[in-house]
Chain A
Amino acid sequence: MAQVDLTSLESPAKLEEFYRQMVFIRHFEERCNVAYRQGLIGGYMHTYIGMEATGVGFHHAIKVGWDYVITAYRDHPQPLLMGSDPVAVMAEIMGRKGGLSKGKGGSMHIYDKERNFFGGWGIVGGHTALGGGLAFAAKYRGEDRVTLCYLGDGAANAGVFFETLNMAGLWDLPCIFIIENNEFAMGTRLEYHAADTELWKRGLPFGIESERIDGMDVLQVAADARRIVDKVRKEGKPYLVEVMNYRFVGHGAADNDRQLYRTKEEEEQAMRRDPIALLEKILLDRNVMTREKMEAIEAETEARVDEIYEKAKASPFPDPHEVYDDLYTDLGPERGH
């Protein structure tokens, strides 16, 4: 097969957008890590550092606000890409009143219904059935919406995921299951958690078209994603794609000792394929962007993230009485201990 010049498929403006988005996610997540260490973010928090090309690549293939998107707890980048107010995203992560879920969800549970972003889920594999349900609803109503259902390699072993794949195959649900294979289920390496490490094969027994793609080259992801999303929209059938990437950080912000499960050498090797650095090289080699321009974008992004962070930090914590709000649509819970 002839090598396709993927840059030629995207306009310079689009390439710049890819770059800006990836740099933005990287900075946003790094800022989250700093805030976590400072005690300004609590609980469990999982960042997307190293995996940016996957989210950005797929984001450009969907119709934002029409298609459905659902993911697990590594969920910061999705709303940021879909146009949610980044201050509201950061405020949610910081447990503030101004957060998308008014501080009730936190880092793992970010939602933006207006944009059809349905979270933000903390039970490994549990949300994949909900993703199937979103696609079920689209099919039920005869709409051409596509559902992107992200999950990790750890979730690819969950029983409910297999149940969902079966029903998706059986009922032709227009759902794209995106296994973000970052090689680790928390601290357990792929070959220690999966009998068959080729996770893309998970769809095959259910008659679901399935493949494995490289998740570090955003141009490749974007091209593959567009092909897959268009196909699912057209044919109304499910699809499974295993995206090979790597998280450059711990499982969560509380994971401080990565050497328990992987070596520094291995990390360094993986980081040589940093998706941002890869894109920079392509942009430079093809004369799409200069180094100066990249540095300017970096600086601009850093300033923007600072501003987002300061605004989120200025949002007050929820009032104690809000603990009773939003349990039901129509009634409050009983009060008191």
Chain B
Amino acid sequence: MIETTFRDAIHRCIDEEMERNPDVFVIGEDIGRYEGTFKVTKGLWPKYGEKRVVDTPIVEPGFTGIAIGAAMTGLRPIVEMMTMSFSILALDQIINHAAKIHYMTGGQVSVPMVVRGPGGAAKQLSAQHSHSLEGWYAHVPGLKVVAPATVQDAYGMLKTAVWDDNPVIFTENPGLYTLKGTIPDDKDFTVPFGKAQILREGSDLSLVGYSRMTQVNLAVAEKLAEKGLSAEVVDVRSLLPLDTETIYASVRKTHRAVVVYEDWRSGGFGAEIAARIGEDCFDDLDSPVLRVGGLNVPMPYARVLELECIPDVDDVLATIERKLG
């Protein structure tokens, strides 16, 4: 095993896959000479040069479209969004073009492309740089959308993403970049999409989340244990495809579910998960499915207000206490 961080695990994966396959290249803003805003691509430009580490103008639609066009011929671009918030500019390219190609061509053309970058709040980046957009993307058939919560998954799921022949949205919560963990010393290690995982077993309620909220849920479970409550932590990690079986199995065991997500509470992906549990596990539930989401406001700048918006351990505990007693 190798001890590393979430950020370095992603870097290592990209480096290894670029070394393995000359068709893999990275493209985005300030990822080469500047080493990347969050330094994920640090060191790649000196090693691979400007041909494979492509610094672009600040034009998300344009460079995303270039990557899609290149991918249509079989190259495997890894597109870095400086933040996923900026991918809003490229929605036309991602949704209207990349997501449609395989279907619209009757299976003739595929787009083996990864769009990755920080999604969610970092620290005081305020309203235009803090979006959690994974729910938007998971709404779109033709995309695959993953949101790892652990170092090992960041490494293994990005490997899967790079080798997937379909467009993959890979979201990295900036709050996870410094998370420590281990990865196998195995360049061929992968974590498949469409498989949720139980990170902590429990019997009284299921805490369902993904990305950084899974880490919050683990802390919540710890707190609940102190109160004598046994919470199961379900890490969804793959939004599209979604592994409902693992989620449902947990709910059928615990009979209670709390879905936690950083995205705006209203219409966020957690709402989809909650609806499905309600629809398919109704007879197994002892109480309504609860949601804890981000506040329905643009992300404010002041740290105290920002923290108010993002669900934390206390918010989850308070909701559980208020609604489940």
Q: Does A137 interact with chain B (Cβ within 8 Å)?
A: yes
Cα-based distance from A219 to B165 in the complex (angstroms): 43
Residues in A neighbouring B144, C-beta threshold 8 A: 328
Q: How far is the CA of A167 from the CA of B64 in the complex (A)?
A: 12
Instruction: Identify the closest chain B residue to A173 (Cβ).
Output: B66
Q: Is A182 an interface residue (CB 8 A)?
A: no
**Can you list, as one digit per residue, whether each of A263-278 has a CB less than 8 Å from chain B (1) or not (0)?**
0000000000000000
8 A Cβ contacts from A122-140 to B = 122-123, 126-138, 140
Question: Is A310 part of the binding interface, using a Cβ–Cβ cutoff of 8 Å?
Answer: no
Q: Which residue of A lies closest to B105 (CB)?
A: A111
Residues of chain B within 8 A of A118, CB atoms compared: 69, 72, 109
Render B91-130 as a binary contact track against A, CB cut-off 8 A, 1 for contact: 0110011000011111111100000000000000000000
Q: CB < 8 Å: which of B56, B57, B70, B92 contacts A133?
A: B70
B24 to chain A, nearest CB (A): 11
Nearest A residue to B112 by beta-carbon distance?
Answer: A329
Q: B108–A129 contact, CB under 8 A?
A: no
Given that A127-B97, A328-B142, A329-B110 are known contacts, is A105 also in contact with B59, CB under 8 Å in the complex? no
* In the bound complex, CA of A136 to CA of B67 (Å): 9
Asked if A10 lies at the interface with its beta carbon under 8 angstroms from chain B, I say no
Are A133 and B71 closer than 8 Å at their CB atoms? Answer: yes
Q: Please pick, from B59, B69, B102, the residue contacting A328 in the complex, using a CB distance under 8 A.
A: B102
Q: Is the CB of B104 within 8 A of A133?
A: no
Q: Tell yes or no: B278 within 8 A of A by CB.
A: no
Say if the beta carbon of B81 comes within 8 Å of chain A: no
User: Across the interface, do B105 and A137 meet the contact criterion of CB distance under 8 Å?
Assistant: no
Partner of B57, one of A103, A128, A163, A329: A163
Contact indicator A132/B97 (Cβ below 8 Å)? no
Q: Given A113-B109, A160-B65, A105–B104 Cβ distance below 8 Å?
A: yes
Measured in the bound complex, the distance between the Cα atoms of B63 and A138 in whole Å is: 16
Q: Which residues of B contact A127 (CB under 8 A)?
A: 65, 97
Contact of B105 among A113, A133, A167 (CB under 8 A): A113
Q: Is residue A301 contacting chain B, with contact meaning CB distance below 8 A?
A: no
Assess whether A130 is in contact with B108, with CB atoms less than 8 Å apart: no
From A38-46, A94-102, A237-245, the one touching the partner chain is A94-102
Cα(A111)–Cα(B101), bound, Å: 10
A126 and B69 contact, Cβ closer than 8 Å, known pairs A105-B105, A111-B108:
no
Name the interface size band of chain B.
35 or more
With contacts A101-B105, A109-B105, A123-B97 taken as known, whether A140 is within 8 angstroms of B70 at the C-beta atoms is yes
- For B59, give the chain A residue with the smallest CB separation: A163
Residues of B within 8 A of A112 (CB): 108
Q: Is the CB of B166 within 8 A of A329?
A: yes
Tell me, yes or no, whether A331 is within 8 Å of chain B by CB. yes
Contact with A along B35-71 (1 / 0, CB 8 A): 0000000000000000100001101011111111111
Instruction: Decide yes or no whether A210 CB sits under 8 A from chain B.
Output: no
How many angstroms between the C-alpha atoms of A163 and B66 in the bound complex? 10
Instruction: Find chain B residues with CB under 8 A from A137 CB.
Output: 69-70, 72-75
Interface core residue of B68, B72, B141 (most chain A CB under 10 Å): B72
A138 to B109, CA, bound (A): 17
In the complex, which residues 141-176 of chain A have their Cβ closer than 8 Å to any Cβ of chain B?
Answer: 141, 159-160, 163-164, 166-167, 170
Q: Contact partner of A123 among B96, B110, B165, CB < 8 A?
A: B96
In the assembled complex, A325 has its CB within 8 A of some CB on chain B: yes
Q: Is B288 interfacial (CB-CB < 8 Å)?
A: no
Closest approach, in angstroms, between the C-beta of B247 and any C-beta of chain A? 14
Asked whether any CB of chain A lies closer than 8 Å to the CB of B300, the reply is no
Chain B residues within CB distance 8 Å of chain A:
25, 51, 56-57, 59, 61-75, 92-93, 96-97, 102-110, 141-142, 144, 164-166, 194, 241
